[in-house]
Amino acid sequence: MQDLPSCGPTRLKAHEHDLPCRAQMAIYPIRTFGDPVLRLPTKPIAEIDDIVVTLARDMIEIMYDAPGVGLAANQIGISRRIAVFDANDELGPRVMINPEIVETAGEFEMDEGCLSVPGHYWEITRPAFARVKALDLDGNEVEYAGDGLLGRVLQHEIGHLEGGLLLDVLPKRARKKALKELRDEALGFA
């Protein structure tokens, strides 16, 4: 079941899977900065059932429609430890259930954005490499590891699942400036 349907325009055709692709608005809206659900650590998934499978498929559709390269469940208001991603590496969409980072190495700086802080990008330093252990939709333990975009996406999505935002990894001065920008924007001053 790891081969999931993608309803994004450049992915699979609807007839290739039993779940039809829907060219409609997102099933769940993406929660944005200021929504308290983004700051709550998510709860582990105890059982992988049809509800979890459907959620994963919906999340992949939402991720592609956004468009984005990753999406954590709390970004759509569901406080469960599941995330999806596609690091543009020819492997397509993947699911991480109850993921944990087990190794990081190096340091890498790049502009990073977030679907929950739309339209904003900041230069963020993170470990260059990340290794993650998780469960797939069949309940099998899987490992995802990589550097560059893959390593970044793994860390970013797991950060969400722990109640974090990319603002949290900014240096103090940059974080203060970013929060001021977001506050001014919310108040209509930007």
Residue 4: pLDDT over 50: no
User: Which domains does the chain carry?
Assistant: 14-186 (3.90.45.10)
Between these two residues, 18 and 67, which has the higher pLDDT value? 67
Residues 5, 63 contacting (CB under 8 angstroms): no
Which of the residues 90, 103, 112, 157 is marked catalytic? 157
Active site residue 157: yes
pLDDT attached to residue 27? 78
DSSP conformation letters of the chain: --S----STTS--GGGSSS----SS-SSPPP-TT-GGGGSPPBPP----HHHHHHHHHHHHHHHHTT-SEEEGGGGT--BSEEEE--SSSS--EEEEEEEEEEEES-EEEEEEETTEEEEEEEEEE-SEEEEEEE-TTS-EEEEEEEHHHHHHHHHHHHHHTT--GGGGS-HHHHHHHHHHHHHHHTT--
Task: Give per-residue pLDDT as tens, 32-62.
Answer: 999 999 999 999 999 999 999 999 999 999 9
Q: Model's pTM, two decimal places?
A: 0.84
